[in-house]
Structure 1
Amino acid sequence: MAFSLSSMRILSKSCFKKLYSRNLVHFQKFSSNIDSTTLKNEKQDAATIPNNSSSTDKQEDKKDVNILNAELLEEKSKLTLQLEEIKDKYKRALAETENVRQRLQKQIKDAKIFGIQGFCKDLLDVADILSKATTSLTEEQLKKENNPALNSLYEGLKMTEGQLMKVFLKHGLEKIDPLVGEKFNPNLHEALFQQPLPDADAAKHGDVVLTAGSIAAVSKVGYKLHDRTIRAALVGVFK
């Protein structure tokens, strides 16, 4: 079969167009696949970056929270110690205040009770004189003398002494007048002398058995004010 030159040219152009069209379609498909793959990768990268960023932020936040918790615990420990110290100081202050209050109350009470101690001591000399005056005479001597004036004087002195003792008792002032044979008490008695203990047969004073360290004689009575000795009784003691 014979082809003319023009026919050959037309055929060549037709084949070239078909080949070009086919290659163009393949190129478009390839480009489309590349674009879709690139877009997919970009989406994955975009999704991965926020996740990584979020994870890093969470770790940083957790680290900050741990540091803050540690600081708060340390501050709590310090405040707890300070609170305990303040409580201890407060309790000590309360105890000291209570002790001071009790001491002041005792001092006030003692001042009320023993405020007359000096005055009482001065009156003891008067009581001693009255006691000597009333004991210088006995009732037998008065009867023997038969002197009404002397009897009246004696009765007046006895009444005065009795009234003075009542006033003493009213204000808490009591006489210390130990008996012979009574045990010596250094809080109430003052020993002036010692004397030997009598023989076994005579080592009795009434129903009381005399022993070493017991009172042998009373030289001067003593006095105490509300259980506080303001003048000890002057006594002799058996040895």
Structure 2
Amino acid sequence: MAARCVGLARRALPALARSLRPPPRLLCTATKQKNSGPNLEEDSGPGEQKADPPSPEKVLLEEKVKLEEQLKETVEKYKRALADTENLRQRSQKLVEEAKLYGIQGFCKDLLEVADILEKATQSVPKEEVHADNPHLKSLYEGLVMTEVQMQKVFTKHGLHRLDPVGAKFDPYEHEALFHAPVEGKEPGTVALVSKVGYKLHGRTLRPALVGVVKDA
């Protein structure tokens, strides 16, 4: 009985071995996958090689150049801002100084009318009538003269100067010509007559003198 069982087992072993053997197609596929897997990088061409990452020194150098450009641009903007601020400060200071100098311009123009009246008043008094026998007129005249002198001192103190250009060369910036006429013994282009005196405030013509100008005969 035992011998029979052994014989049956021997006959069954070859068939079992054949059933466990993988088919040839699967062996070929596995062989191809095994051969192609590890060699993918080797099969790739030289143009498809992976680029190396930039070195730290190169990265730092690029950052340094970029920061230097930003710093240069910031410095230029800062310098322009300083220049604009300085120009604005100078203009503002000039405007303040001019306001201090010429802020009384309107007030001075009004006072010029008073000075003109005083001048006409003193000129209208006959000089031969001003004597001790006529004390009232003498006192009035002297008071007008003193007032006029004091007013001119105040004008000068505040930069207001009188223009009485008789015999001077005609200047269109300081004089206003009322007429032109030939005058014997006078040089053409000079002022022969002053109808109304002018005034300058700190070098700027506040009111031009009204004059008559000599012309060629």
TM-score, with normalisation over the residues of structure 2?
0.68
Query: SS in structure 1 opposite 2:180?
Result: strand
The answer to whether 1:236 aligns with 2:195 is no
Q: Give the counterpart letter for 1:85 in structure 2.
A: E
Deviation at 1:142, TM superposition (A): 2.7
Tell me the equivalent position of 1:55. none
Whole-angstrom CA distance in 2 between matches of 1:119 and 1:96: 35
Tell me the equivalent position of 1:173. 160
Which residues of 2 match residues 217-236 of structure 1 at below 5 A? 217-236=193-212
Instruction: Give identity over the alignment, percent.
Output: 60
Query: SS in structure 2 opposite 1:178?
Result: coil
The alignment's C-alpha RMSD in Å is 2.2
Whole-angstrom CA distance in 2 between matches of 1:92 and 1:114: 32
Equivalences, count: 165
Tell me the equivalent position of 2:179. 193
Match 1:112 to one of 89, 97, 100: 100
Query: SS in structure 2 opposite 1:86?
Result: helix
Tell me the equivalent position of 1:137. 125
The answer to whether 1:203 aligns with 2:159 is no
Q: Give the counterpart letter for 1:173 in structure 2.
A: L
Deviation at 1:82, TM superposition (A): 1.9
Consecutive unaligned residues of structure 1, counting only runs of 5 or more, are: 1-62, 205-209
Once the two structures are superposed, what CA deviation does each residue of 1:95-142 show, in whole Å capped at 9, x if it has no partner? 111111111112222222222111111110000000001112343343
Q: Give the counterpart letter for 2:192 in structure 1.
A: A
Q: Give the counterpart letter for 2:139 in structure 1.
A: S
Whole-angstrom CA distance in 2 between matches of 1:192 and 1:74: 78
Which residues of 2 match residues 34-45 of structure 1 at below 5 A? none
CA 1:86–1:151: 2 relative to 1, 3 Å:
same
The structure whose residues are more often helix, as a share, is 1
Query: SS in structure 2 opposite 1:185?
Result: coil
Whole-angstrom CA distance in 2 between matches of 1:134 and 1:228: 28
Whole-angstrom CA distance in 2 between matches of 1:77 and 1:138: 92
Whole-angstrom CA distance in 1 between matches of 2:176 and 2:83: 40
CA 1:75–1:167: 2 relative to 1, 3 Å:
same
Match 2:109 to one of 115, 121, 124: 121
Whole-angstrom CA distance in 2 between matches of 1:74 and 1:187: 65
- The structure that has the greater radius of gyration is 1
Deviation at 1:64, TM superposition (A): 4.8
CA 1:138–1:81: 2 relative to 1, 3 Å:
farther
